[in-house]
């Protein structure tokens, strides 16, 4: 079928749930950091299937691990013992500080966060949770209430005991940078004292907001909040669905960049390089909260998912992808910062490792979002063979989160085309 026929099938059978600007590309093949359309046109993939293809499209080691496990055994459920899941739990928890030794496997980030919230509530005996405005934690009904993005889009009750604290976005901070950590931590304290006195179950956060537009928090913010939350009986949950597995470059986990150790960590996306997989890692004591109660997941950590998850961990280590993320990410940020000096439309360049955001504004003083221009640039880059993500509260942020095998040369290619597109858009060429 042609691309037009596929688009028509999509519109007939999916409605308009998946929205896009102009004509979407059709992807038929992938190899490492590149995607190919139906005419074999190559695209540099800087979005990685939304930060999911962590080590490369159809990476041969991942394909090999999945294929050979599929020939042996595809599924058993948790009712029986299977070597893959237990070995995987050991290898995954080895990546965490000593007391975080218990893992439970699910299939997605939403499911992982559902379990984390359940654990916090059952373990503490409390119900109230704190999350951040502009955060994203999933698309199940509970996690939509947790995230600070969905609640205002649906005209439905989505409270579920969640209180949303001010978003500690350094770029759009309402106070000077040096006061930002105290200021935004104080907002969490106000909620603890005002809205949840004595009833706090936990606090859930991303370390760099992903869907929210690569939002970075002030240094020291999470440390202060963790202390407050724990002092008032709550657990701290780090959502590492986007920031985990070496992506931030300097650290394996995003939370480490803020010098904190969570009580519960949730993972998905990059954990399976595109295969549906998610996990919750916590202490054995906290995991006990759901033990011997009715808690079950049919597919979570099935033998194929576990074999693939193990291969992803191996590839990240064998190919030194964490250090590589740091190097390529630093190169990219340096190049983008040079572009920012030349073009007013770039309001901010931020991020860590290979999780980078470029925020486009109409005016650097007012920071008025350049939403239409962002969509145009996104389209122009697509036509030049580069795929980037787009997001942020105002839809004016490019999200760069490629498979971690991307090279410095790929980034040179991207920055060159971004500059050309900006010049074309702003009438400079």
CA distance 214 to 208: 6
Give every CB contact of residue 363 below 8 A, 6+ residues apart in sequence: none
**CB of 217 vs ligand PMP, minimal distance in Å:** 14
Asked if 241 interacts with ligand PMP (CB under 6 A), we say: yes
Task: Rule CB under 6 A: say whether 211 interacts with ligand PMP.
Answer: yes
For the segment 47-66, give every residue that binds ligand PMP (CB under 6 A).
50
Residue 359 in contact with ligand PMP, rule: CB under 6 A: no
What is the Cβ-side half-sphere exposure of residue 371, based on CA atoms within 13 angstroms? Answer: 7
Q: How far is CA 176 from CA 169, 306, 385, in A?
A: 12, 46, 39
According to CB under 6 A, which one of 62, 129, 268, 405 is a site residue for ligand PMP? 268
Identify which of residues 102 and 113 has a Cβ nearer to ligand PMP in the complex. 113
Q: Choose the binding region for ligand PMP from 1-9, 206-214, 215-223, 326-334 (rule: CB under 6 A).
A: 206-214
CB of 139 or CB of 195, closer to ligand PMP: 139
Q: Interface with ligand PMP includes 242 (CB under 6 A)?
A: yes
Say how far apart CA 403 and CA 415 lie, in whole Å. 17
Please, which contacts does 316-322 make with residues 24 or more away whose CB atoms are closer than 8 Å? 316/54, 316/55, 316/245, 316/246, 316/404, 319/55, 319/405, 321/54, 321/55, 321/246, 321/404, 321/405, 322/246, 322/249, 322/251, 322/252, 322/353, 322/404
At closest approach, how far in Å is the CB of 149 from ligand PMP?
10
> Per CB under 6 A, does 126 bind ligand PMP?
no
Residue 356 contacts residue 349 (beta carbons within 8 Å): yes
- Nearest residue to ligand PMP on Cβ basis: 109
Query: Minimal distance in Å, beta carbon 284 to ligand PMP?
Result: 24
- For strand 27-31 and strand 264-267, is the pairing parallel, antiparallel, or unpaired? unpaired
Q: Which two tokens stand for residue 218?
A: 């002030």
Helix or strand run (H / E) with residue 306: helix 303-318
Nearer to ligand PMP by Cβ, of 211 and 418: the residue is 211
- CA 224, 227, 228 angle in degrees (round to 5)? 90
Write out the two tokens for 108: 């997605």
- Please identify, among the stretches 1-9, 85-93, 102-110, 313-321, the one whose residues bind ligand PMP according to the rule CB under 6 A: 102-110
Q: How far is the CB of 413 from ligand PMP (least distance, A)?
A: 26
According to CB under 6 A, which one of 109, 168, 357, 402 is a site residue for ligand PMP? 109
Q: 59, 121, 133, 137: which one contacts ligand PMP (CB under 6 A)?
A: 137
Give residues with Cβ within 8 angstroms of 13, minimum separation 6.
Answer: none
Concatenate the DSSP letters of all residues of 172-233 into one string: T-SS-HHHHHHHHHHHHHHHHHHT-TT-EEEEEEESEETTTTSEEPPTTHHHHHHHHHHHTT
Distance in Å, CB of 137 to ligand PMP, minimum: 5
Please report how close the Cβ of residue 254 comes to ligand PMP at its closest, in angstroms: 10
Q: Does 114 bind ligand PMP (CB under 6 A)?
A: no
148 binds ligand PMP (CB under 6 A): no
136 binds ligand PMP (CB under 6 A): yes
Among 33, 54, 93, 108, binds ligand PMP (CB under 6 A): 108
Among 93, 110, 126, 258, binds ligand PMP (CB under 6 A): 110
262 near ligand PMP (CB under 6 A)? no
Is the Cβ–Cβ distance between 242 and 269 less than 8 Å? yes
Residues 266/241, Cβ–Cβ less than 8 Å = yes
419 is an interface residue for ligand PMP by CB under 6 A: no
Give me the least distance between CB of 90 and ligand PMP, in Å please. 24
Distance CA 35, CA 385 (A): 9
Q: CB of residue 2 vs ligand PMP: minimum separation in angstroms?
A: 30
Kindly state the tokens that stand for 150. Answer: 């969905």
167: contact with ligand PMP by CB under 6 A: no
Q: Which of 148, 210, 300, 369 binds ligand PMP (CB under 6 A)?
A: 210
Which tokens in the block code for residue 152? 């205002």
Residues engaged in binding ligand PMP (CB under 6 A)? 50, 108-110, 113, 136-139, 206, 210-211, 239, 241-242, 268
């Amino acid at each position: 079928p042609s691309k037009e026929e596929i688009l028509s099938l999509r519109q007939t059978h999916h409605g308009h749930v998946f929205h896009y600007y102009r004509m979407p590309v059709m992807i038929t093949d992938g190899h490492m950091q590149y995607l190919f359309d139906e005419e074999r046109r190559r695209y540099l993939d800087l979005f990685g299937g939304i930060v999911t293809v962590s080590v490369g499209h159809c990476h041969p080691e991942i394909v090999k691990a999945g294929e050979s496990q599929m020939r042996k055994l595809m599924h058993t459920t948790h009712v029986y013992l299977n070597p893959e899941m237990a070995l995987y739990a050991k290898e995954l928890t080895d990546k965490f500080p000593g007391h975080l030794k218990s893992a439970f496997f699910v299939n997605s980030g939403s499911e992982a966060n559902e379990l984390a919230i359940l654990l916090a509530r059952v373990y503490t005996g409390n119900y109230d949770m704190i999350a951040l405005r502009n955060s994203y934690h999933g698309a199940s009904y509970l996690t939509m209430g947790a995230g600070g993005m969905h609640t205002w889009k649906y005209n439905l009750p989505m409270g579920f005991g969640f209180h949303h604290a001010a978003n500690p976005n350094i770029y759009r901070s309402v106070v000077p940078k040096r006061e930002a950590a105290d200021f935004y931590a104080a907002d969490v304290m106000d909620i603890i004292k005002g809205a949840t006195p004595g009833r706090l179950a936990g606090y859930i956060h991303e370390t760099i907001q992903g869907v929210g537009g690569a939002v970075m928090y002030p240094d020291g913010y999470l440390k202060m909040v963790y202390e407050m939350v724990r002092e008032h009986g709550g657990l701290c949950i780090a959502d590492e669905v986007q920031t985990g597995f070496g992506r931030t470059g300097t650290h394996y986990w995003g939370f480490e960049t803020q010098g904190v150790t969570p009580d519960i960590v949730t993972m998905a996306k990059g954990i399976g390089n595109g295969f549906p997989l998610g996990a919750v890692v916590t202490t054995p004591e906290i995991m006990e909260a759901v033990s011997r109660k009715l808690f079950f997941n049919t597919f979570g950590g099935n033998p194929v998912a576990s074999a693939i998850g193990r291969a992803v961990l191996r590839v990240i280590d064998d190919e030194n992808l964490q250090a590589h993320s740091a190097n390529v990410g630093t190169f990219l940020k340096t190049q983008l910062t040079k572009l920012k000096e030349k073009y007013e439309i770039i309001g901010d360049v931020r991020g860590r490792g290979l999780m980078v955001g470029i925020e486009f504004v109409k005016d650097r003083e007012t920071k008025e979002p350049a939403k239409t221009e962002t969509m145009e640039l996104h389209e122009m880059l697509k036509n030049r063979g580069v795929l980037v993500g787009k997001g942020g509260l105002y839809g004016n942020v490019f999200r760069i989160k490629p498979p971690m095998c991307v090279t410095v040369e790929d980034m040179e290619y991207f920055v060159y085309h971004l500059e050309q597109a900006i010049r074309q858009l702003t009438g400079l060429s």
